[in-house]
Amino acid sequence: MDIQAIKQRFGIIGHSPFLDRAIDIARQVAPTDITVLINGESGVGKEAFPQIIHNLSARKHGPYIAVNCGAIPEGTIDSELFGHEKGSFTGAHESRKGYFEVVNGGTIFLDEVAELPLSTQVRLLRVLETGEFMRVGSSKVIKTDVRVVAATNVDIPEAINRGKFRQDLYYRLNTVPIYIPPLRERKEDIVLLFRKFASDFAEKYRMPQLELDESARQMLMSYRWQGNVRQLKNITEQISIIEESRMITSANLQRYLPSENRALPVLFQKEQSGGEFSEREILYKVLFDMKRDIGELKKLVVAIIDQGGVSHDLQREHQPIIAQLYKDFAEPHQGMPRVEVQPRADNQEIEAFYTPEVLDDSLSIQKKEIDLIKRAIEKHGGKRKNAAHELGISERTLYRKIKEYGLT
């Protein structure tokens, strides 16, 4: 089956080469029993690819089940996946088969696999390596023949560094990776998807179909779409119901697009392993850079003065700047050491005696952040709620940073 036929069969819309590449990999890997890991942001349509793999494989007549690992409570996830014996825990009134036992001979899709607890990851690794598992509360080994397709929107290597995901399980799952591109990387497909959704909603709600003018098309393609296809579908449905005019302009569209997601050169906040990368920290970095540059400038001027003056060539080239610098260092300023300027015997050059201050050139944002947290806690007498308010962060974030930096 070629790529176009797969798109038609599974309702995939788009002509992006990145999308075509993902479909082609799924098609080629389907006849094998290799484990597949699908990577992509939330809302890109990862759930279609396990179905492609299952339906094009020799297991297509066997059972298929999709499990959202993030939606199952940590206390019951082992029971859901591997089953349990009667009396193994409170509420276990009878024995129950898990998904790996029920789907024997078929395919299981583990969505949001990075949300699995570490203890469950150990059990999953054993199933992948040996095809064996034990029910909760049992010592009997059960064999199963299940093909696993997993998906996640989490950066798993980063999760491994934070101790949230097992490295050996990652390598076992990632036998064949499939990357599903976000909507902003397949802009040529955005208008096609909008038209498809608009047609579906026009039929569903029995109303004329929406149309886009050129300005609306350009706005759709320039938008970041952090919610990807799911967000585009939801917005198309809103417009279909609310807007009276069937011709959508950029002015109409703008009312439905959150401004913070537009593709503009603005600062935005993103979770990183070391904490929150925010506008506050960017400002700190700029200030530290300015302090470093001023420090270097002071050192340069001191070196020039200590060497007995400025060369005639340098004087001619930068006379206005040097004159101002000599003035600034010769006159006392608040917070700066006094520079004593004495004329030389020839009255042609000056020499100064200057004791340089010790400069703190540390550019570590983490170090500055720790210092600010300590000062805020001390200022408010250990009241963390007030300290968090002073720092402009949530109390939960402050607790996390105190724990992360080992502060008391």
Tokens 């298929």 — which residue? 64
User: Could you tell me how far CA 323 lies from the centroid of its own chain?
Assistant: 50
Domain 184-261 is found in CATH 1.10.10.10: no
Rounded distance between C-alpha atoms, residue 21 and residue 33, angstroms? 20
pLDDT at 283: 65
Give mean pLDDT, residues 182-208.
Answer: 95
Query: How large a percentage of the chain has pLDDT more than 70?
Result: 76
How far is residue 153's CA from residue 111's CA, in Å, rounded to a whole number? 9
Residue 338: DSSP 8-state: -
Give Cβ neighbours of residue 60 (< 8 Å, ≥ 6 apart).
Answer: 54
Q: What confidence tier does 370 reach under pLDDT thresholds 50, 70, 90?
A: confident
Q: Answer yes or no: is pLDDT of 330 > 90.
A: no
- Cβ neighbours of 178 (radius 10 Å): 23
Q: 257: closest CA among 181, 153, 183, 179?
A: 183
Using DSSP's 3-state secondary structure scheme, residue 276 falls into strand
Least confident of 277-286, 370-379, 392-401: 277-286
Domain boundaries defined on the chain? 3-181, 184-261, 281-353, 364-405
pLDDT, tens digit, 9 for 90 and up, residues 252-268: 999 999 875 555 444 44
Residue 190 · residue 221 · CB < 8 Å? yes
Q: How far apart are CA 148 and CA 81, in angstroms?
A: 12
Report the topology of domain 364-405.
Arc Repressor Mutant, subunit A (1.10.10)
CATH of domain 3-181: 3.40.50.300
pLDDT for res 350: 39
With 0-12 / 13-18 / 19 or more C-beta atoms within 10 angstroms meaning exposed / middle / buried, residue 79 is buried
pLDDT of residue 400: 80
CA–CA separation, 28 vs 207, rounded Å? 42
Average the pLDDT over each of 170-184, 245-259, 379-393 and give the range with the smallest value.
379-393
